[in-house]
């Protein structure tokens, strides 16, 4: 591939990249020519994702990693650099819905679990990537998967709070790391059709459709170009930004 968004020679890391949104973004990056490191807890899913990416003509490797464990992150980063020799972009995508309880029923352990999954794991992953970028001295791209729940809010509080937090994190990192040529941005998807999201109650899916100005729910293909843009040199002036990918769901009047 050649042109504005050619990622030949680029090495991208995608956490939680063996399924869902992560794999969708990884496919887009691979189609643009990037080599891909997949971090995930399930070795079999990692292997399946790697095979799909290799079929696109790029180098890909999977690394078993639980991103809630800082030591596992450091080990996986070391293994990634040993395999590819460098890192150019880091997509901190791994996360989850966390504890699903009403706000008044949350215990301190529930809050800690959700924060560990959706915020602490992101900070540790992006810190490891930043250290590598600084060692290389050539800048880099930090991208985190947030959610429009960080803008709109959903019952329970924990998920929305952590997604809002990572959007705030990238604004801080954008200021601090700009002199080193490192950009930090967040992607805020709305309802994207994945294996997991399509298992949600039909009433919820219908409500999302009613709120979506575009008249269509998102697909994994909708995540591909966004990932390529934020990994590419064409986004060098885009930093500290929260890019909403929701077909107008978060602004639709009710």
Residues classed as catalytic? 159
Helices marked H in 116-157: 121-136, 149-152
Element (H, E) at 168: helix 158-177
Q: Which two tokens stand for residue 151?
A: 């803008």
What whole-number distance in Å separates Cα of residue 150 and Cα of residue 242?
10
3-state secondary structure of 143: strand
Geometric angle at alpha carbon 246, from 244 and 251, rounded to 5°: 80
H helix or E strand, kind and range, residue 244 = strand 241-245
3-state percent helix, strand, coil for the chain, nearest multiple of 5: 50, 15, 35
């Amino acid at each position: 591939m050649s042109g504005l968004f050619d990622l030949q020679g680029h090495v991208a890391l995608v956490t939680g990249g063996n399924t869902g949104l992560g794999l969708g973004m990884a496919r887009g990056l691979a189609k643009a020519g990037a080599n891909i490191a997949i971090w995930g807890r399930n070795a079999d899913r990692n292997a399946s994702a790697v095979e799909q990416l290799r079929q696109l003509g790029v180098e890909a490797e999977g690394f078993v990693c639980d991103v809630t464990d800082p030591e596992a992150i450091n080990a996986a980063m070391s293994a990634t650099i040993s395999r590819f020799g460098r890192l150019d972009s880091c997509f901190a995508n791994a996360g989850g819905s966390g504890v699903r309880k009403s706000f008044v029923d949350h215990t301190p352990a529930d809050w800690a679990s959700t924060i560990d999954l959706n915020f602490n794991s992101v900070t540790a992953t992006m810190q490891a990537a930043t250290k590598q970028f600084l060692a290389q001295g050539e800048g880099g791209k930090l991208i985190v998967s947030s959610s429009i729940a960080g803008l709109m809010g959903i019952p329970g509080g924990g998920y929305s709070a952590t997604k809002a937090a990572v959007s705030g994190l990238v604004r801080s990192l954008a200021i601090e790391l700009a002199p080193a040529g490192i950009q930090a941005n967040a992607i805020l998807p709305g309802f994207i059709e994945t294996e997991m999201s399509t298992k949600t109650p039909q009433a919820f899916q219908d409500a999302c459709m009613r709120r979506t100005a575009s008249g269509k729910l998102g697909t994994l293909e909708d995540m591909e170009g966004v990932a390529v843009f934020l990994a590419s040199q064409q986004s060098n002036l885009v930093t500290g930004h929260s890019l909403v990918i929701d077909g107008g769901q978060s602004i639709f009047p009710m």
